[in-house]
Chain A
Amino acid sequence: MTVAAMQRPPKVARQSAAQGVRLALSGDWTLIASQRLEEEGRRIVEEARLDRTIAIDLSQVSQLDTAGAWLINRARHDLARRDVAVTLEHVRPEYSTLLDETRYRDFAAPSRPRFNVFFVLLADFGESIVDALREFYRGVGFLGEFVSSMIYVAANPRRFRLTSLVAQIELVGFRSVPIIVLINILVGGIVAQQGIFQLLKFGASSYTVSLIGILVLRELGVLLTSIMIAGRSGSAITAELGSMKMREEVDALLVMGLSPFEVLIAPRVLGLVISLPILTFVADMAALFGGMLVAWWYGGISPAAFASLLKEAIALHTFLVGIIKAPFMALVIGLIASMDGLATQGSAESLGRQVTSSVVKSIFMVIVMDGVFAVFFAAIDY
């Protein structure tokens, strides 16, 4: 059977004979004919609907598949409802099995209850609020479980997975250094350029150095690093744990009497908590370096002058304000990523949704936390 042989279009021809009217079907009654097949199926009904009896002759049908057989059966059913008596003639034995298997049955879809769009909208809105609250509740529970497993590990240090932790620090910390350095040099440079450009109007361009120093050390370094890590490592953790959940690897751990918190989550979250302050330090240095370069080329502030101005502008606490925030950011990113990973259901779509939600939520929470810290540090006058 060649491709050419498969393209005999299905046809219905009405023939009047001595015994009465007959419809001669010919060609390939297969799905390849697509629309044509459906049209010819409807034509059977159209041609015969005014007759009392009709004979359908299948002798010229060169091929028949389930779709063709179904359409012939559907036409027979429609005709029977109009009181037309239908007989099939010259049915090959292999077609007759197929026609039997595809006899007409009503597949009318069960009618789903329809709702008012307004109610659906309102219900969705309510549901999302309840979901958010439930999520928060689960998050608190998750944090508690993490802390209790950490206490357990602290009491049994031999159960701690050092190798796994070191691997995570390499993955999350060490391998992020190039990208963190790069974006922080750029952002430091941009802040410096804007500072010089805007402050020049007041003749205060030397204050650029304090601007860079305070902004970068207190806020930008840690924020940019956290956002970067939420996107880079948070998503990886969610995807990894999610696919482990989908393939029942998490269940395998549970039935071995091992806790996923101990084996999977503790090394990842601790890896983040250790890496993020170090990365923040690297980011601070990179941003100051970028600022210094731009101040030198664009603002004519020499590196030596930059250094002495910086020394006046900042103190140890400026640097500490940034660094203290880092482990908390890491904890939030790690817990959200793990929680979303373990909430993955069976489908690939669900995994994608969890990864997206993990990244969006952790970036949001990082910014909220930063705001809370700003209020806190202002209140204690640090």
Chain B
Amino acid sequence: MTNASAHANDAAQPRPNRDVIISVRDLVVGFGDKTIVKGLNLDVYRGEVLGVVGGSGQGKSVLTRTILGLTPKRSGSVQVFGQNRDMLPPLERRALEQRWGVLFQNGALFSGLTVKQNIQMPMRETRDLSERLMDELALLKLELVGLNPDAADKFPSELSGGMVKRAALARALALDPELVFLDEPTSGLDPISAAEFDALIGTLQQTLGLTVFMVTHDLDSLYSICDRVAALAEGRVIAAGPLETLLASDHPWLKAYFHGVRGGRLTAARVEQKDEQWKPAPTTP
């Protein structure tokens, strides 16, 4: 445990040479008489892909929802883009909210709107654009996330699981946000689609210069696209840093996670190509 808290402190210390985009300090969140997040500290740096891992019920989703302002916190502070969301007047808060995009676990596409209308929704509501440009941008976003233009006029109930995730990602990217939250982006996808989705997030992150906050259970995603990984347990960040650091940690939960039955198999397979840099998978035109 001493080792773990040392890691947590490490995460709390801002590195002087990098721009902190999300900063969470001593966050406490709970429901009723249950405390789920107990004094959590976390920094997310501009331009990185941060993977957040943790067992079920350890507060990953609660943390995400608290940063987004969907779940009220008991104490502590959350700063996004250097601003404390709670303290902002409504207009500035809305401006801040337009600088992030969120991909919910089940897509959360508006079921009464077509895919194109879903993507145009944020543009239509917050910008003053011509129909032509909105159509073009929506179709461009669809192509960026690897969907056919045919999908534009379909309703969410007519899409497969993978297509829903892609369409939802296109909506999250509609306003070209600087920061994207992904809640288990590859869950429910087959390994091929999951790998494509990882590559897609990597490409988009490089093209658009995104910062990505990704809650995931997918070890493959951690290996392939995350710059840094934060592990949550018992309502705290028990370790944060590059994957190698976490692999070397001897915290029992991390050991079980990375060196258990499933994790061990992958870790062993990845050790040989550890030095190899991640490259975006070749995309078919």
Q: Does B190 contact A (CB under 8 A)?
A: no
- Given A67-B137, A347-B111, A348-B111, 9 more A-B residue pairs with CB atoms under 8 Å apart are A31-B123, A34-B128, A65-B208, A66-B137, A74-B136, A98-B207, A345-B157, A346-B111, A346-B157
Interface readout for B126-160 with A: 1 if CB under 8 Å, 0 if not? Answer: 01111001011101110110000100000111100
Q: Closest chain A residue to B141 by CB distance?
A: A66
The CA-CA distance from A97 to B206 in the complex, in Å, is: 8
Q: Does B176 contact A (CB under 8 A)?
A: yes
Contact A347 B130 (CB under 8 A): no
Interface readout for B172-191 with A: 1 if CB under 8 Å, 0 if not? Answer: 01011000000000000000
Q: Does B92 contact A (CB under 8 A)?
A: yes
Q: Please indicate the chain B residues that have their CB under 8 angstroms from the CB of A66 in the complex.
A: 137, 140-141, 144, 173, 176, 208
Among residues 86 to 139 in chain A, which have CB atoms less than 8 Å away from a CB atom of chain B? 94, 97-98, 101-102, 105, 107, 109
Q: Which residues of B line the A interface, CB within 8 A?
A: 81, 92, 95, 110-112, 123, 127-130, 133, 135-137, 139-141, 143-144, 149, 155-158, 173, 175-176, 206-209
CB distance from B46 to the nearest CB of A (A): 9
Q: Closest chain A residue to B130 by CB distance?
A: A38
Q: Please indicate the chain A residues that have their CB under 8 angstroms from the CB of B111 in the complex.
A: 346-350
Q: Please indicate the chain B residues that have their CB under 8 angstroms from the CB of A346 in the complex.
A: 111, 155-158
Q: Does A280 contact B (CB under 8 A)?
A: no
Contact B127 A31 (CB under 8 A): yes
Q: Which of B95, B144, B155, B176 contacts A101 (CB 8 A)?
A: B144
Q: Please indicate the chain A residues that have their CB under 8 angstroms from the CB of B156 in the complex.
A: 346-347
- Sort chain A's interface into a size bin: 20 to 34
Q: Closest chain B residue to A99 by CB distance?
A: B207
Contact B207 A38 (CB under 8 A): no
CB distance from A65 to the nearest CB of B (A): 4
Q: Which of A35, A98, A105, A107 contacts B129 (CB 8 A)?
A: A35
CB distance from B21 to the nearest CB of A (A): 10
Q: Please indicate the chain B residues that have their CB under 8 angstroms from the CB of A94 in the complex.
A: 209
Q: Please indicate the chain A residues that have their CB under 8 angstroms from the CB of B81 in the complex.
A: 1
Contact B128 A35 (CB under 8 A): yes
Contact A349 B207 (CB under 8 A): no
The CA-CA distance from A74 to B133 in the complex, in Å, is: 10
Q: Closest chain A residue to B110 by CB distance?
A: A348
- The verdict on A101 contacting B130 (CB below 8 Å), with A346-B111, A349-B112 known, is no
Main secondary structure of the interface of A (DSSP, over half): helix
- The verdict on A347 contacting B157 (CB below 8 Å), with A30-B176, A35-B129 known, is yes
Among residues 319 to 349 in chain A, which have CB atoms less than 8 Å away from a CB atom of chain B? 345-349
Main secondary structure of the interface of B (DSSP, over half): helix
Interface CB pairs A-B, < 8 A, 25: A1-B81, A3-B92, A3-B95, A30-B176, A31-B129, A31-B175, A34-B129, A35-B129, A67-B133, A70-B133, A70-B136, A70-B137, A101-B144, A102-B140, A107-B139, A107-B149, A109-B135, A345-B157, A346-B111, A346-B156, A346-B158, A347-B111, A347-B155, A347-B156, A349-B112
Q: Please indicate the chain B residues that have their CB under 8 angstroms from the CB of A30 in the complex.
A: 176
CB distance from A320 to the nearest CB of B (A): 48
Q: Closest chain A residue to B98 by CB distance?
A: A32
Q: Closest chain B residue to A73 by CB distance?
A: B140
Q: Closest chain B residue to A68 by CB distance?
A: B176
- The verdict on A101 contacting B207 (CB below 8 Å), with A30-B176, A349-B111, A349-B112 known, is yes
Q: Closest chain B residue to A345 by CB distance?
A: B157
The CA-CA distance from A73 to B176 in the complex, in Å, is: 17
CB distance from A111 to the nearest CB of B (A): 13
The CA-CA distance from A1 to B177 in the complex, in Å, is: 13
The CA-CA distance from A98 to B136 in the complex, in Å, is: 16
Q: Closest chain B residue to A348 by CB distance?
A: B111
Among residues 5 to 56 in chain A, which have CB atoms less than 8 Å away from a CB atom of chain B? 30-32, 34-35, 38
Q: Please indicate the chain B residues that have their CB under 8 angstroms from the CB of A102 in the complex.
A: 140
CB distance from A355 to the nearest CB of B (A): 14
Q: Please indicate the chain A residues that have their CB under 8 angstroms from the CB of B123 in the complex.
A: 31
CB distance from B140 to the nearest CB of A (A): 6
Instruction: Point out which of B81, B110, B140, B158 has the most chain A C-beta atoms below 10 A from its C-beta.
Output: B140
Contact A67 B176 (CB under 8 A): yes
CB distance from B195 to the nearest CB of A (A): 20
Instruction: Point out which of A34, A65, A107 has the most chain B C-beta atoms below 10 A from its C-beta.
Output: A107
Q: Which of B139, B155, B176 contacts A31 (CB 8 A)?
A: B176
Instruction: Point out which of B136, B149, B155 has the most chain A C-beta atoms below 10 A from its C-beta.
Output: B136
Contact B140 A70 (CB under 8 A): yes
The CA-CA distance from A345 to B133 in the complex, in Å, is: 32
Q: Closest chain A residue to B134 by CB distance?
A: A67
Q: Please indicate the chain B residues that have their CB under 8 angstroms from the CB of A109 in the complex.
A: 135
Q: Which of A34, A98, A105 contacts B208 (CB 8 A)?
A: A98
Interface readout for A189-215 with B: 1 if CB under 8 Å, 0 if not? Answer: 000000000000000000000000000
CB distance from B167 to the nearest CB of A (A): 14
CB distance from B112 to the nearest CB of A (A): 4
- The verdict on A38 contacting B133 (CB below 8 Å), with A3-B92, A101-B207, A107-B139 known, is yes
The CA-CA distance from A345 to B111 in the complex, in Å, is: 10
Among residues 160 to 216 in chain A, which have CB atoms less than 8 Å away from a CB atom of chain B? none
Q: Please indicate the chain A residues that have their CB under 8 angstroms from the CB of B130 in the complex.
A: 38
The CA-CA distance from A31 to B135 in the complex, in Å, is: 14
Q: Closest chain B residue to A94 by CB distance?
A: B209
The CA-CA distance from A317 to B111 in the complex, in Å, is: 52
The CA-CA distance from A347 to B111 in the complex, in Å, is: 5
CB distance from A195 to the nearest CB of B (A): 49
Q: Please indicate the chain B residues that have their CB under 8 angstroms from the CB of A70 in the complex.
A: 133, 136-137, 140
CB distance from B206 to the nearest CB of A (A): 7
The CA-CA distance from A30 to B178 in the complex, in Å, is: 12
Q: Closest chain B residue to A109 by CB distance?
A: B135
CB distance from A174 to the nearest CB of B (A): 30
Q: Please indicate the chain A residues that have their CB under 8 angstroms from the CB of B206 in the complex.
A: 97
The CA-CA distance from A121 to B92 in the complex, in Å, is: 48
